[in-house]
Chains A and B, each alone.
Chain A
């Protein structure tokens, strides 16, 4: 292992410990907000595989998240999930739809990679934007309404025991007592905390997968395509394979994130994956740093918290959007490389002359 790999593993362990302990120091509600940060982080990891590493811009990742979210919603609410005669118990049912949601989105993303082969740069961005625009219409389309619930969407609340009131009346003392959630034998004190651990456990796994994937041959091919398609092709990188692969992986991540978003929100409808979501994801990747992995956490924090902070500044009509825009412009002027760029700069300040070879 290289020295940088060891630091990476060390940081990973530290991050895991910090994530494990965070809910002890923040309120239950904050844990829920950080759960959303985890969800966005997963989506950003996927988008960065495509945009940051392979150089393909996608303005349609919200649509892949919608595919993931609806996969989970349809499986959980309507049919339930059955494998042969075995039915999953309620407390894990939605969990098993997450990888499925990722796979469905991944396959569609992979398929989308083929037409994308002919498009580059801005043209590809427009094509992906078209999916984001078309998705709400598709979800509302009459023929699909029996699956998607049309504009009204699908409510997941009823089907999830964990979101029910977390208290029962004690039969002896007649006092209301908190009833903890059981998940795989472990008791968790609230839905929010469960959500937090679920999304961050997945986020760490997805981070590790992305890291392994990108440090080897695949990652090298991706970067080669980004830097020069011509040079990559002449060095023996199969452009078709790697471009579609990048799309597939990226959409898989988006599908997982979308599925988690559906579970967290307990509701999906076409408006829960709006066009602006796709744009915010791209903003998150740029703020986190193109071609970076863990600094994307800052991008995810940006997406989750900036709209909330913007409201604190002013509640006048339309003002939050203006504040958001101004802050975004300032961030881009001061940190053109995103959070990752800042970290690299700080790093080179502390250890002069040492530069990582990325």
Chain B
């Protein structure tokens, strides 16, 4: 009784789809002469909700661009959906954006596993997965398999490599203890570090993994101290990185601490320093590729001033010291640039083509001298960074740009 009715309905539906297919024009979904709709997932709730600032910063920049006439007369609408940092929710939310909201592209969705979970779907549906907010190496490395996906920030491997090279040069003979989050992100960083110290006198003497769900990392830190390491690398997200600092201090351990960029925002460092009581924080080293709005160096920088004015106009009440907002603006700036380059009538394929030949030495929200660059065979947009040192309550960059070279 059920089948014939179902069959009939299916036939009817198939007919509708067939007519739609022939009537469809060449224009991709989500784009009209007046607007372009893009979407992305972000954790507004849950453990990682601090990262919501990235999307907020990007949105503020799009509002600013729209207020000045948009891109080729089109206003950019950026729809963000909360996934609570749960990949299953990311999949649902992404399908909602593609199938119900009919977005032109997925943009700046946050999280490694979250983007891995949606990558096959987006590539099968041929929807651009632009500027993934994760440094996992796979997003740049596996472009042949996933031509519709591209990352943005320096890969974790490149970041680890820079720390390795720095140690090899500045602290030969260093013994490194690594606190590493037990997932692809942590492992990527560790692999990069090992690659960077290859053929040098620096050794990784201990690597202590922990689960992202672990309540604390006290035992890991004491084991790392016991290993005799004189450098501590924190390859952890903010909560555990802060704990790393706190426990090292309690054990009266004063190694040189390397803190990964994921956890090095100034507000996080301020928490780790426990109101100045924790001296282990002093002289920490991290990489930086954005203009940190709290860095006195950029106090009168034109881009940082622009950032502040955009934030006060289009993201009222948000904390302007939060460097993730700058990240959002940097990535939004690059999207606008790509969209402009894709011509008067951008298509999904046309936009992807532009992301394959990025060559932008002038993204104002990134550090001066840093070039966003991709090619037909190379899909890591940002591979350069400066090192910075935490001193008396703020980061101060030092040395020249480090550029990652694989192999």
Judge whether B10 and A24 touch: CB under 8 Å: no
Q: Which of A234-286 contact B (CB under 8 A)?
A: 261, 265-267, 269, 271-276
Question: Which of B84-92, B330-338, B357-365 lies at the interface with chain A?
Answer: B84-92
Judge whether B120 and A266 touch: CB under 8 Å: yes
| CB-defined contacts of B89 to chain A, threshold 8 Å | 307
A158, A177, A315: the one within 8 Å of B18 (CB): A177
Complex: chain A residue closest to B92, CB-CB: A36
Judge whether A152 and B113 touch: CB under 8 Å: yes
Judge whether A192 and B2 touch: CB under 8 Å: no
Question: Quick check: is A219 within 8 A (CB to CB) of the other chain?
Answer: no
Judge whether B124 and A320 touch: CB under 8 Å: no
Question: Which of A50-58, A93-101, A182-190, A333-341 lies at the interface with chain B?
Answer: A182-190
| CB-defined contacts of A33 to chain B, threshold 8 Å | 92, 96
| CB-defined contacts of A29 to chain B, threshold 8 Å | 95-96, 99-100
Q: Which of A298-356 contact B (CB under 8 A)?
A: 307, 311, 315-321, 324
A24, A32, A137, A266: the one within 8 Å of B213 (CB): A137
Interface residues of B: mostly helix, strand, loop or mixed? helix
Question: Quick check: is A155 within 8 A (CB to CB) of the other chain?
Answer: yes
| CB-defined contacts of B17 to chain A, threshold 8 Å | 178, 189
How far apart are A347's CB and chain B's nearest CB, in angstroms?
A: 30
Question: Are A187 and B7 also in contact (CB < 8 A) when A28-B99, A311-B81, A315-B44 are?
Answer: yes
A30, A165, A318: the one within 8 Å of B49 (CB): A318
Judge whether A311 and B213 touch: CB under 8 Å: no
Question: Quick check: is B184 within 8 A (CB to CB) of the other chain?
Answer: yes
Judge whether A165 and B88 touch: CB under 8 Å: no
How far apart are A103's CB and chain B's nearest CB, in angstroms?
A: 23
Question: Are A153 and B87 also in contact (CB < 8 A) when A164-B124, A175-B22, A318-B45 are?
Answer: yes
The interface size of chain A toward B, counting residues with CB under 8 Å, comes to 55
Judge whether B44 and A265 touch: CB under 8 Å: no
Question: Quick check: is A228 within 8 A (CB to CB) of the other chain?
Answer: no
Question: Are A320 and B82 also in contact (CB < 8 A) when A265-B117, A267-B88 are?
Answer: yes
B3, B80, B96, B213: the one within 8 Å of A315 (CB): B80
| CB-defined contacts of B7 to chain A, threshold 8 Å | 186-187
Question: Quick check: is A20 within 8 A (CB to CB) of the other chain?
Answer: yes
| CB-defined contacts of B296 to chain A, threshold 8 Å | none
Judge whether B10 and A271 touch: CB under 8 Å: no
Question: Are A186 and B120 also in contact (CB < 8 A) when A265-B88, A317-B44 are?
Answer: no
Of A28, A33, A186, A307, which is in contact with the most chain B CB atoms at under 10 Å from its CB? A307
Judge whether A152 and B96 touch: CB under 8 Å: no
Q: How far is the CA of A320 from the CA of B211 in the complex (A)?
A: 26
Judge whether A266 and B91 touch: CB under 8 Å: yes
Q: Mark B14-44, 1 if CB is under 8 A from A, else 0.
A: 1001100110000000000000000000001
| CB-defined contacts of B21 to chain A, threshold 8 Å | 167, 175-178
Q: How far is the CA of A16 from the CA of B116 in the complex (A)?
A: 36
| CB-defined contacts of B277 to chain A, threshold 8 Å | none
Complex: chain A residue closest to B96, CB-CB: A29
Q: How far is the CA of A165 from the CA of B11 in the complex (A)?
A: 19
Question: Quick check: is A10 within 8 A (CB to CB) of the other chain?
Answer: no
Judge whether B211 and A153 touch: CB under 8 Å: no
Chain A residues with CB under 8 Å of chain B are 20, 24, 27-30, 32-33, 36, 133, 136-137, 140, 150-153, 155, 157-158, 163-165, 167, 175-178, 180, 186-189, 192, 261, 265-267, 269, 271-276, 307, 311, 315-321, 324
What are some 19 contacts across the A-B interface (CB < 8 A)? Answer: A20-B2, A20-B5, A29-B96, A150-B182, A155-B120, A163-B120, A177-B18, A178-B17, A189-B10, A189-B14, A266-B120, A267-B117, A271-B113, A272-B86, A275-B213, A276-B46, A307-B89, A315-B44, A320-B45
Instruction: Name 12 extra pairs, CB < 8 A, besides A269-B117, A271-B113, A307-B45.
Output: A20-B2, A32-B95, A152-B183, A153-B117, A177-B18, A178-B18, A192-B99, A271-B85, A272-B86, A272-B117, A311-B81, A317-B49
Chain B residues with CB under 8 Å of chain A are 2-3, 5-7, 9-11, 13-14, 17-18, 21-22, 44-46, 49-50, 52-53, 56, 80-82, 84-89, 91-92, 95-96, 99-100, 113, 116-117, 120-121, 124-126, 182-184, 211-213
